[in-house]
């Protein structure tokens, strides 16, 4: 049987990927940010899963206004790296797990969560930056990845509650897969940030830390946070945090917190990071 071992939560700021790619991680600006992931790199080396179900959002790289799936699951063998305007990041292609992905798609859709099945797509910073933060610069990623893309770019995004319930359905799917696989579920994006308009640059440490406080012990009520509260308190891109609730839903009720980190700013964004193991 496949088993969910843990969840990893992290912001996915593109400038973090550029800092690694351009050899700037030792700069004064970046040092404290990367220090917050030192524990995580050791932890994942000791707890390397077979597969990561990676919940992220596409930023008009694979999808755009012509096609906006609310929830999409990647069922491909491999995913090329998106060109986001500066050429693709110099990171390896992402290897998928089509068998487990197809099983999750079947289980979750028959469980009444209507995913879009995607057999071909490029993946952007939303997926690759958390990979880089956890694995560093590698020739080949040490895990297979099942991308789960959530629309948080074009209104209306799914509610936090819907995301949390989808996570629970993903857990049921994984636990009913008949091969012995260890799986992690990652939630990316957030924390508070707003990239445009008069409030561009907004960061809200109080809101972010309250979210981090509640994610482990109190996800049911956290999942009831309405969109307007994310928008008001965490900025227009703060709504990316609903993706953390998919991953949290997949972990089951009880979790053990292994790591928590918060740093402001990285580019325009507050960076939050947490590791929770399923108890
Ligand atoms: C930034 C953050 C994001 O989450 C993103 O998708 C793009 C840019 C930023 O802070 O620069
Ligand atoms: Fe983003």
Residue 59 in contact with ligand 1 by CB distance below 6 A: yes
Sequential DSSP letters for the chain:
--EEEEEEEE---HHHHHHHHTT-TTSTTTHHHHHTTHHHHHHHHHT--SEEEEEE---SSS-BTTB--SEEEE--SEEPBPB-SS-B-SSPPEE--HHHHHHHHHHHHHTT--PEEESS--B-HHHHHHHHHHH-S-SS-SSEEEEEEE--SSSPPPPHHHHHHHHHHHHHHHHT--S--EEEEEEE--SS---SSTTTT---HHHHHHHHHHHTT-HHHHTT--HHHHHHHH-TTGGGGHHHHHHHHTT-S-EEEEEEEEEEEETTEEEEEEEEEE-
CATH 1.10.8.100 fits domain 3-200+215-267: no
For residues 248 and 7, the answer to whether their CB atoms sit within 8 Å is yes
Tokens of 101: 């992905």
- Is 125 assigned a catalytic role? yes
- Best mutation site among 56, 123, 237 for ligand 1, i.e. most ligand atoms within 8 A of its Cβ? 237
Position 223 scores a pLDDT of: 98
- Best mutation site among 84, 124, 193 for ligand 1, i.e. most ligand atoms within 8 A of its Cβ? 193
For residues 121 and 62, the answer to whether their CB atoms sit within 8 Å is yes
For residues 151 and 158, the answer to whether their CB atoms sit within 8 Å is yes
Query: Which of 115, 131, 134 has its CA nearest to residue 246?
Result: 115
Position 109 scores a pLDDT of: 98
Closest-lying ligand 1 atom to the alpha carbon of residue 193 = 10
Residue 13 in contact with ligand 1 by CB distance below 6 A: yes
- Is 273 assigned a catalytic role? no
Which residue ranges in the chain fall short of pLDDT 70?
A: none
Distance 13 CA to ligand 1 centre (A): 5
Position 156 scores a pLDDT of: 97
Active-site residue among 12, 59, 103, 125? 125
């Amino acid at each position: 049987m496949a088993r969910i071992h843990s969840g990893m939560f992290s912001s996915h700021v593109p400038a973090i990927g550029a800092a690694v790619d351009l050899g700037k991680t030792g700069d004064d600006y970046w040092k404290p940010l990367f220090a917050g992931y030192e524990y995580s790199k050791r932890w994942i080396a000791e707890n390397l899963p077979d597969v990561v179900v990676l919940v992220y959002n596409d930023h008009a790289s694979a999808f755009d206004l012509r096609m906006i799936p609310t929830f999409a699951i990647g069922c491909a063998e491999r995913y090329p790296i998106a060109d986001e305007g500066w050429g693709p990041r110099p990171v390896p292609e992402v290897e998928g797990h089509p068998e487990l992905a197809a099983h999750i798609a079947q289980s979750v859709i028959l469980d009444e969560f209507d995913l879009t099945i995607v057999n071909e797509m490029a993946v952007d910073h939303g997926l690759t930056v958390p990979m880089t933060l956890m694995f560093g610069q590698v020739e080949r990623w040490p895990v297979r990845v099942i991308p789960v893309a959530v629309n948080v770019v074009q209104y209306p995004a799914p509610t936090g509650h819907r995301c949390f319930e989808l996570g629970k359905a993903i857990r049921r799917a994984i636990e009913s897969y008949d091969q012995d696989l260890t799986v992690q579920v990652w939630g990316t994006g957030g924390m508070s940030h707003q990239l445009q308009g008069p409030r561009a640059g907004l960061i809200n440490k109080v809101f972010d830390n309250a979210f981090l406080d509640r994610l482990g012990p109190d996800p049911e009520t956290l999942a009831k946070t309405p969109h307007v509260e994310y928008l008001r308190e965490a900025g227009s891109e703060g709504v990316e945090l609903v993706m953390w609730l998919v991953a949290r839903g997949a972990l089951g009720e009880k979790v053990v917190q292994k790591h928590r980190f918060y740093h402001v700013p990285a580019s325009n964004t507050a960076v939050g990071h947490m590791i929770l193991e399923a108890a």
